[in-house]
């Protein structure tokens, strides 16, 4: 087996498509097919089942995928750790993050960070908390940002930011008349827009509703959507109300596209956590990001960075 064959195989398995794997690897589709054919010849077994509509792994392919992901992760980790002997803050910094931090927090933070360190290239992977942890354990990400604590051997989990969820409504006379105060009766009347059940925002929102005496299962739902951006667009267009990230709602509310209501409950607050593997040597870029993050997420800039650290050098 060759590393290139494993890299092609892993991309095909992840993307479930020969053509998309070819695009991701900057190869032609025949080249991707040739690498997989050579891999299967070397192993003497089929690892991929291909039809006109889908690509799936065989049982042998699933076994190989688990090892291949670890092997490629170790290669990336070896490259980073070799380069980490240098002191220059440069090169790729892979970060895995859940939806809200990847879409609404990191773009602001990374722009400020790169003013100070322009030779850093960010690789951002978006997924749920389980995928973030998986990437950290495989070594394909150095840092992770999640909305719930991670209890995994070898993972260090540091709270770094508290945000408050808000109740988002359309900017209509009906809601304008509330004067910025959301009554219990109006909140309970809905209809509600919600994220998918595995979403951290959905879990936090349901916890808040139960805490004020509303059963989420008994509320009228108008739609379930799989992204915060879709939720906000639906709120803007009057499909319903939603409990969303304050970070995500900020620009919409400032532009007058929606109204954002607070509610007197501590259950609308949640922490974001920075996660890294404490037994692995971090690159200078990752170590610097951990050290300087507090002065960026609060709205500061490069000139505000002092010696405050989340991670000891």
**Distances 64 to 8, 27, 47, 224 between C-alpha atoms, Å:** 12, 22, 8, 36
Q: What is the pLDDT of residue 311?
A: 46
Residue 294 has pLDDT above 60, yes or no: yes
Pairing type for strands 155-170 and 91-97 reads unpaired
Alpha helices in 84-183 (DSSP H): 99-100, 106-116, 129-138, 173-176
Residues 143 and 275 sit within 8 Å (Cβ to Cβ) = yes
Burial of 153 (0-12, 13-18, 19+ CB in 10 A): exposed
Q: For the chain, give percent helix, strand, coil, nearest 5.
A: 50, 20, 30
Q: Tens digit of pLDDT for each residue in 109-135? A: 898 888 889 999 999 999 888 888 889
Taking the CA atoms of the chain, what radius of gyration do you get in angstroms?
23
**Coil/strand/helix, residue 143:** strand
Please indicate whether residue 277 or residue 301 has the higher confidence score (pLDDT).
Answer: 277
pLDDT at 304: 55
What are 79-113's pLDDT values in tens digits?
A: 777 766 566 788 889 999 988 899 998 988 898 88
Q: What is the pLDDT of residue 78?
A: 80
State both tokens at 255: 């532009």
Query: Over the stretch 38-56, which tens digit does the pLDDT of each residue have?
Result: 999 999 999 999 876 788 9
Better-predicted residue by pLDDT, 44 or 295: 44
In this predicted structure, the answer to whether residue 308 has a pLDDT above a threshold of 50 is: no
Note the pLDDT tens digit of each residue in 227-257. 899 999 999 999 999 999 999 999 999 999 9
**Euclidean distance between CA atoms 247 and 40, whole angstroms:** 48
Domains contained in the chain, CATH given: 3-81 (1.10.10.10), 88-161+271-304 (3.40.190.10), 163-269 (3.40.190.10)
Q: Looking at residue 87, what is its pLDDT?
A: 64
Q: What's the Cα-to-Cα distance from 100 to each of 53, 108, 145, 169, 235, rounded to whole Å?
A: 32, 12, 10, 19, 17
Mean pLDDT computed over every residue of the chain: 87
């Amino acid at each position: 087996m060759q590393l290139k064959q494993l890299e092609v195989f892993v991309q095909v398995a992840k993307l479930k498509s020969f053509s998309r794997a070819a695009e991701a690897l900057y190869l032609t589709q025949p080249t991707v097919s040739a690498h997989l054919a050579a891999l299967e010849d070397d192993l003497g077994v089929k690892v991929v089942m291909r039809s006109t509509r889908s690509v799936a792994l065989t049982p042998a392919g699933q076994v190989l995928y688990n090892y291949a992901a670890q092997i490629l992760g170790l290669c990336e980790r070896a490259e980073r750790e070799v380069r980490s002997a240098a002191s220059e803050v440069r090169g790729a910094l892979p970060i895995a993050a859940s939806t809200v931090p990847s879409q609404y927090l990191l773009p602001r933070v990374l722009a400020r960070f790169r003013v100070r360190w322009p030779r850093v290239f960010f690789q951002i992977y978006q997924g749920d908390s389980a995928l973030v942890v998986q990437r950290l354990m495989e070594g394909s990400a150095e840092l992770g940002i999640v909305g719930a604590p991670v209890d995994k051997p070898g993972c260090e989990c540091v709270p770094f930011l508290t945000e408050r969820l808000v109740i988002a409504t359309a900017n209509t006379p009906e809601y304008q008349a509330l004067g910025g105060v959301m009554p219990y009766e109006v909140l309970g009347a809905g209809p509600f827009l919600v994220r998918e059940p595995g979403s951290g925002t959905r879990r936090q929102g349901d916890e808040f509703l139960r805490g004020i005496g509303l059963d989420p299962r008994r509320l009228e739902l108008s739609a379930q959507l799989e992204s915060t951006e879709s939720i906000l667009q639906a709120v803007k267009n009057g499909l319903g109300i939603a409990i969303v990230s304050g970070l995500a709602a900020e620009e919409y509310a400032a532009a007058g596209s929606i109204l954002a209501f607070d509610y007197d409950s501590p259950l609308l607050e949640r922490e974001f956590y920075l996660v890294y593997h404490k037994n692995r040597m971090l690159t200078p870029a990752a170590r610097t990001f951990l050290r300087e993050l507090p002065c960026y997420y609060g709205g500061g800039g490069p000139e505000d960075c002092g010696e405050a650290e989340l991670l000891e050098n």
